[in-house]
Chains A and B, each alone.
Chain A
Amino acid sequence: MTLNNTTSLEPAIRFIDVCKSFGEKISQNIVLDRVSFSVPKGQTTVIAGGSGQGKSVILKLILGLLRPDSGQVLVGEKNIASMGYKALQEVRLLFGVLFQGSALFDSLTVFENIALPLRERTKFSAKEIQVRVAATLEQLDLTGHETKFPAQLSGGMKKRVGLARALQLEPEIVLFDEPTTGLDPVMSKEIYELFVTTQQRIGYTAVIVSHDIPDIFTLADQIILLNKGELDVFTDTAQIPHSSKPSIREFARMVMGQQAA
């Protein structure tokens, strides 16, 4: 499958020689070893890899929730790896995030969860917030569930509320951490459709971390595969089995089987 050509597009995010390891000693668990890649503006980049290969670490590095041991993480032209707290807060306003477990606030209702970024980060009046949230609820087919708490929602509904919250500030970049984990195939399809609709409407740059291979590739303009600290970037799924990196070829053989061969 040939994906859109992304090489000529302006990058929204760039990783330059990023290293990240965990553990007491620096050499113990190297998750990312001098990785470099770009996420093109307005496009969808899918990051796939096995468990514990550093997919979520990449998202946390993009958000500044983790700092790299070395290298640069550029959002636009700003290196968030060396940024102070205040500057980081400003950059984070560019992002919307759909967390793996949705990360909805248990003590807030669906309405309050979706309204939270508007209440905290904008000067909209209560009435304006009411109108905006009601519109979002309608778009995401959540009308009638405003007063429910997260514990009263199904997995798919939680994801939709999480997406609604992530999109409230109309972010330039939306990060999806395993958006279909724990959902049945019908729900997963619904989330993918919702993703396509919202991206067409808002035009955000999307970074999707997923292990839903190969289904997730249908959404991608660019695919980043991660295995054993190595990373390779593809714009065509047919290139994957011919990666120059042995660990990526091995990963492709494992997860794509006959398709890759």
Chain B
Amino acid sequence: MNQSEKNTSSFLRIIGGLGEQTLYVLTDLGRMGFFLFFAFMGLLKSPFRFREVIRQVCFIGAGSLTVIFFTALSSGMVLGLQGYYSLHKFGAEGMLGSAVSLTLIMELGPVLTALMVSGRAGSAMCAEIGIMRISEQIDALECMAIDPFRYLISPKFLAVLISVPLLTAIFDVVGIMGGYLAGVKLMGVNGGAFFAGMQQSVTNHDIILGVVKSYVFALLIVWICTGRGYFVQKIRGTGFGAESVSKVTTQAVVMSSISVLIFDYLLTAVLL
């Protein structure tokens, strides 16, 4: 084979590799698209698994309260201190309530709640479904003519869509209390001015933006985490058995966290 043929052959290999990778990504996206569709269809099928939804809300929602409480309190207090430090330079300490509440409601509340839920519950959901897949439990459901989406996936979707907005609301309230503690009780900002500023500056639009974000983030987390677990055997480069579940779980948390951050920017840019 002469040099020119060698060059052509390597070029074709590169193009072939790129084509193969593109096809893999498109197949994966298509698979995930169908997964999302079937997950929502599963909610419409009977019998509806009400008790399982409640159980999942307890795990994803109530079980995340501690981590959400401490993250919110810490973020709110840091915001209170940082805000005070910055605003004090301009003699605008009275704006602290406004700054803390707007930052929490529109930005930090939805984002940090989503990241916490992704790390805590998203990883657990992905690992649970991945293990069920590799130990043939999902195959067993299909063999018993039980729709795995209705039985397993859809209750998790609904539970996350219920829990994350509620956790975000709790995050916002605890965060504002943290800001109040740091700004008013520690740094001496006027309490009336803190709440008055908050009342004047926070509009319905700001709250709606926070709520929309929390629903979108909830969907991203549950979709990516359950979907990766469900397709654990179809994902390239993750090995087999327990190793594949561990790698896919890590991948799911990273993917869902990055998606949350990307969509946070997009939603802010579109809705602000």
Contacts and interface: CB of A to CB of B under 8 A. Distances in A.
B259 interface: no
Of A24, A96, A103, most B-chain CB atoms within 10 Å: A103
Contacts of B20: 24
A126 to B, nearest CB: 13
Task: Categorize the interface residue count of chain A.
Answer: 20 to 34
Contacts of B131: 106
A99 interface: yes
Interface string B127-159: 000011001110110111111000100000000
A21 B139 CA distance: 20
Contacts of A96: 143
A116 B145 CA distance: 11
Interface stretch (A70-78, A86-94, A179-187, A190-198): A86-94
Contacts of A117: 144, 146
B136 A121 contact: no
B144 A99 contact: no
B243 to A, nearest CB: 17
Contacts of A99: 136, 139-140
A101 B135 contact: yes
B143 A63 contact: yes
Interface string A53-76: 000000000010100000000000
B135 A92 contact: no
A92 B142 contact: yes
A207 interface: no
Interface of B is mostly: helix
Contacts of A93: 145
B23 to A, nearest CB: 9
B140 A120 contact: no
A93 B136 CA distance: 18
A65 B142 contact: yes
A8 to B, nearest CB: 30
B137 A95 contact: no
Contacts of B137: 103-106
A120 B144 contact: yes
A120 B136 contact: no
B136 A103 contact: yes
Given A24-B20, A120-B151, A101 B146 contact: no
B146 A120 contact: yes
Contacts of B147: 89
Nearest to B23: A24
A97 interface: yes
Nearest to B55: A107
Contact of B144 (A65, A92, A104, A106): A92
Given A97-B140, A99-B140, A103-B140, A121 B146 contact: yes
Contact of A121 (B132, B135, B145): B145
A149 B178 CA distance: 44
29 contacts: A63-B139, A63-B142, A65-B139, A65-B143, A89-B147, A90-B145, A92-B142, A93-B145, A95-B143, A96-B143, A97-B143, A99-B136, A99-B140, A100-B136, A101-B135, A103-B135, A103-B137, A103-B140, A105-B132, A106-B131, A106-B135, A106-B137, A116-B146, A117-B144, A117-B146, A120-B47, A120-B146, A165-B144, A169-B144
Interface of B: 20, 47, 131-132, 135-137, 139-140, 142-147, 151
Interface of A: 24, 63, 65, 89-90, 92-93, 95-97, 99-101, 103-106, 116-117, 120-121, 165, 169
Given A65-B142, A95-B143, 11 more contacts: A92-B144, A92-B145, A103-B139, A105-B137, A105-B140, A116-B144, A117-B146, A120-B47, A121-B145, A165-B144, A169-B144
